[in-house]
Amino acid sequence: MSGEGSSFRYVIKAAGRRLFEIEYDGYMPADDSHVLETERLVVAQPEPVGLYYQVHGFSGFHRSQIMTHADMFGRLGPRVVGIAVVGARPVVRFGAITISLMAKTPLKTFDDRREAMAWLVSLLR
């Protein structure tokens, strides 16, 4: 699944058994279509999943996205065992950590994809 806005692009794809990769690029507006797609994908899975966010090109977000994402992860609860974020700039890292705390969802930031995926796989065991 993928979508584009004027300066925001996202791609959601399977990255392994029970693992999904979500790439954000550009500035995320108040629109929530990407969040709805993520939620539908996770709810459709028969077992809990790990989410890997690749955000190297993600420059920022509309302030409403903090609550939009926190609400989604709060609804998903134990369906998401963990969220790994790779390549986050400071403002994105702060937003991700805030979302994690609000939704009570395990989240770690990484500089390396391998480490991030290894952490998610360890949570799925």
Structure tokens that stand for 28 in this block: 């995320």
* Confidence at residue 25, expressed as pLDDT on a 0 to 100 scale: 96
* pLDDT at residue 118, rounded to an integer: 97
Q: Where are the domains of the chain?
A: 2-124
Q: Are 10 and 46 a contacting pair, CB within 8 Å?
A: no
Pair 73, 43: CB distance under 8 Å: no
Residues 2-124, CATH architecture: 2-Layer Sandwich (3.30)
b/e map 58-77, b = 16+ CB within 10 Å? beebeeebbebbbbbbeebe
Return the pLDDT at 21: 98
> What pLDDT is attached to residue 48?
98
Stretches in the chain below the pLDDT threshold 70? 1-6
pTM above 0.85, yes or no: yes
